[in-house]
Structure 1
Amino acid sequence: MVSGYVLADMWGEAFDLLQWVPGVNIVTWNAVAARNLKAGNDGEVMRLVSQMRSCHGPGLDSVTVVIGLRACSRSGYLRIGKELHAVSIRLCFDRLERAESSLITMYSKCQMMSSAYCLFRTRSTQSIVTWNSLLPGYAFMDQVEEAILLFRDDLFLCLSK
């Protein structure tokens, strides 16, 4: 029923059901949050993630964290993004590639390139996913030369091994 309300863009009814129907699981909450993210309702995503934390305690999963971080990236919610970063560390999601790339993107879009770069560098191996999270951040900040230098230096390190 919740999914039906979400697909019909009946957000209020979907939220009411989520709060009052016993046994609604994290998958249903994530489905509603993901639909809000897709619709560009970043504020609603943040409200929903907050409700999920209060209703389910530490019941957030890595999907919830990624959805929340993507909403933070688009809307510049740095404080909430930092809170989700702390949650991801506490729940050991911070080393999952999707969560880490979402963190790098969030810090980049919130104009915190030093934090994004630090996350990128502390990763044991840089993948195409994390590269694709970091490099657009430099472009977003109009720091294209830094991106080129970073890419060139890492390429040189890879070739010299």
Structure 2
Amino acid sequence: MSIVVITGPRHDASSLTPPIADDAMWKLWERAQAAGVDLLWRPCQDFVELTGHLDRSPVDHADLVLLDVDAAEVPESDVAPLRHALASLDVPYIEIHDGSDQSDASTLVPGHPSLVSVVVPGNAMAGYDMALSIGLRYLGAHVRMAA
């Protein structure tokens, strides 16, 4: 089993500075591995790249996608391709946001909503951690919960 994390371009890149993101993603990867699930991270520099990752069928052979993108930031020229990619996505996805003012990408495709949208204002990594927990439970993986 595998989960692919696709992160969209950010106007505020400071919320995921590379050393913090790498360390936190490593911890998430270890949790997923302990549950018998591969975790792949696909950071995207632009929405064309993001759409390209979603268009892969199936997405890197994933059973689930964790998607970190603010639909309000998608340029008009990229909305239609992103809408098509989400509508064609053949695996479920969970959205992650670190701001309550961010828009779900699933609003672009009402007929193909996300399983859940995780919003942890100001703490992207806590959102990733929560989304991974939900994803592992959804996939039926055995996860040891910390006390």
Regarding TM over 0.5, the answer is no
Greater relative contact order (Cα 8 A, min sep 6): structure 1 or 2?
Answer: 2
When normalised by structure 1's length, the TM-score is: 0.27
More helix by share: 1
Of structures 1 and 2, the larger Rg is shown by: 1
